[in-house]
């Protein structure tokens, strides 16, 4: 029997270099794109069906139409009603999801690879042969209607509801991302079927696939279940242009609320991921993007204003949003705003090599975990499609993070941190919030109602 020598610690294993997965680009007979990755460890397949038919195509007065269509489309399809479809999914251990984002309409399915044909048949039936029954429509509309009512009592939800209308600076296709109490009453079942027929069916889809199966097997199944059904048209163009505004504070009054829910940010042009853009990711990390960021150290550790604060980029196809999110006690609203602005101003001038290197390691060393599961890889493939990014985007990004210099970081901070254009959405006790704010900031205060309309007080 081998004896273990406990007098010295075991040696570490040999270093294993991590290499990012390689995504392949394929095309079906009708020209539809397939972003494919073979991962052979487990017999699992994840497929995303993507068409550019998201909430930005909702008509004026019909906000929430894409959202309602997505909620209805899997309530029975092909030969199966809703109960039979769900029973089939559960009996095979399949997971089906449908949602409408700002830009895209997505149907996602995952399961064991032995069920590839069944999975793709289900997606094909859901997309191209949904039942759209009136009773299902009424039920889903009631669910969304009740959700809108519940949002009224949730300050955090209301901050998010109002954010897009405020942050875009002008009406555009990204102003509304969901239904409101007026639009949900106007949408009819005919509107849903028309949206499906005009916005979803005619478009050429993109597929993302991560599986242990060879591509030839996937391609055959895609052709079997989608050729002859898929559209061939490109999506129409919509207005996504934004307008930057001077620093403002929009208050939604929730009288006697002990806390203020705070969202702040501004829109940015779509980034092309140059060295400067990679540097901005590092700058955001050290500003508010991780637990050891400046905002966390200031607002949480030093001042005790909040349990957590976070800054991040939200990607859309035609523009981005830079956002800051936190909640503070009402009396700390003004002081917290001053610290957020102060830290943003300081990061445009002062960044140390140590901070930048910490941020670089936080971003690059954690990249391996992004590719840990089949589902996570599927989401990253979808990111490439939805952002119109190159197949090797994550590899290029990693190299860019490694090469970004301190000069790049300072330049990026000054170019992208539009401190003078910050828009704050504050949901809480109006009188307490205003009382907490220093006089210079009061010039930018605007009170709004639940629909984002300006409130004029006599």
What residue ranges do the domains of the chain occupy? 24-226, 248-448
- Residue 419 has a pLDDT of 92
Q: For residue 399, how many other CB atoms are within 10 A of its CB?
A: 14
Distances (CA, A) of 99 to 51, 73, 96, 208: 11, 10, 10, 16
The whole-number pLDDT of residue 8 equals 76
Query: Which pLDDT belongs to residue 393?
Result: 87
Please give the Cα distance from 167 to 172 (Å, whole number). Answer: 11
Contact in structure between 53 and 104 (CB atoms under 8 Å): yes
Rounded to whole angstroms, the Cα distance separating 411 from 279 reads: 9
Whole-model pTM? Answer: 0.90
Look at residue 138 in the predicted model and tell me its pLDDT.
97
Determine phi and psi for 137, rounding to 5 degrees: -60, -45
Identical topology for domains 24-226 and 248-448: yes
- What is the pLDDT at residue 61? 93
CA 114 to chain CA centroid, nearest Å? 31
Residue among 339, 398, 396, 341 at smallest CA distance from 365: 398
Which pLDDT score, from 0 to 100, does residue 14 have? 60
Measured distance CA(438)–CA(99) in Å, rounded: 43
Tell me the three state secondary structure of residue 111. strand
For domain 248-448, give its CATH number from 3.30.830.10, 3.10.50.40, 3.30.930.10, 3.40.50.720: 3.30.830.10
Give dist(CA 327, CA 325) in Å, integer.
7
Contact 330, 259 (CB under 8 A): yes
Question: Token pair of 98, please?
Answer: 């449908």
- What 3-state DSSP class applies to 458? coil
In order, the DSSP letters of 312-333 are EEEE-SSEEEEEEEEEEEGGGH
CATH architecture for the domain at 24-226? 2-Layer Sandwich (3.30)
The whole-number mean pLDDT for each consecutive block of 10 residues of the chain, a chain of 458 residues, reads 70 66 92 94 95 95 96 95 96 96 96 97 97 96 95 92 92 91 95 96 96 97 94 92 95 94 94 78 94 95 96 91 97 97 96 92 80 89 90 88 92 94 97 95 92 80
């Amino acid at each position: 029997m081998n004896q273990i020598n406990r007098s010295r610690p075991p040696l570490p294993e040999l270093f294993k270099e991590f290499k990012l997965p390689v995504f392949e680009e394929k095309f079906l007979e009708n020209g539809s794109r397939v972003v494919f990755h073979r991962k052979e460890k487990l017999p699992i397949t994840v497929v995303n069906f993507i068409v550019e038919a998201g909430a930005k195509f909702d008509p004026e007065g019909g906000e929430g139409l894409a959202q309602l269509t997505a909620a209805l489309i899997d309530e029975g399809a092909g030969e199966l009603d809703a109960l039979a479809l769900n029973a089939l999914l559960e009996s095979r251990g399949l997971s089906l999801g449908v949602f409408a984002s700002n830009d895209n309409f997505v149907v996602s399915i995952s399961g064991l690879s032995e069920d590839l044909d069944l999975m793709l048949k289900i997606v094909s039936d859901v997309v191209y042969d949904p039942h759209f029954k009136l009773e299902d429509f009424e039920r889903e509309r009631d669910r969304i209607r009740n959700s809108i009512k519940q949002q009224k009592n949730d300050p955090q939800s209301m901050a998010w509801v109002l954010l897009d209308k405020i942050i875009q600076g002008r009406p555009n296709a990204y102003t509304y991302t969901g239904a409101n109490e007026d639009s949900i009453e106007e949408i009819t079942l005919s509107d849903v079927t028309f949206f499906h027929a005009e916005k979803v069916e005619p478009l050429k889809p993109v597929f993302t696939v991560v599986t242990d199966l060879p591509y030839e097997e996937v391609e055959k199944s895609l052709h079997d279940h989608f050729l002859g059904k898929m559209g061939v048209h490109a999506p129409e163009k919509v207005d996504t242009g934004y307008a930057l505004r001077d620093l403002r504070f929009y208050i939604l009054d929730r009288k006697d609320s002990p806390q203020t829910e705070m969202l702040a940010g501004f829109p940015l042009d779509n980034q092309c991921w140059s060295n400067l853009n990679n540097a901005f990711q590092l700058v955001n990390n050290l500003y508010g993007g991780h637990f050891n960021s400046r905002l966390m150290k200031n607002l949480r550790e030093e001042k005790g204003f909040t349990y957590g604060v976070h800054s991040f980029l939200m990607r859309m196809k035609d523009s981005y949003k830079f956002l800051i999110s936190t909640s503070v006690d009402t009396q700390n609203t003004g002081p917290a705003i001053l610290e957020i602005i102060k830290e943003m101003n300081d990061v445009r001038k002062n960044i140390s090599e140590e901070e930048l290197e910490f941020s670089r390691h936080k971003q690059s060393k954690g990249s391996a975990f992004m590719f840990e599961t089949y589902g996570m890889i599927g989401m990253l493939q979808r990111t490439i499609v939805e952002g119109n990014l190159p197949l090797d985007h994550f590899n290029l990004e990693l190299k860019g993070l490694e090469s970004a210099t301190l000069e790049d970081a300072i330049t990026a901070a000054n170019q992208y941190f539009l401190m003078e254009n910050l828009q704050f959405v504050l949901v809480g006790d109006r009188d307490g919030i205003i009382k907490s704010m220093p006089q210079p900031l009061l010039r930018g205060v605007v009170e709004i109602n639940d629909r984002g309309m300006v409130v004029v007080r006599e």
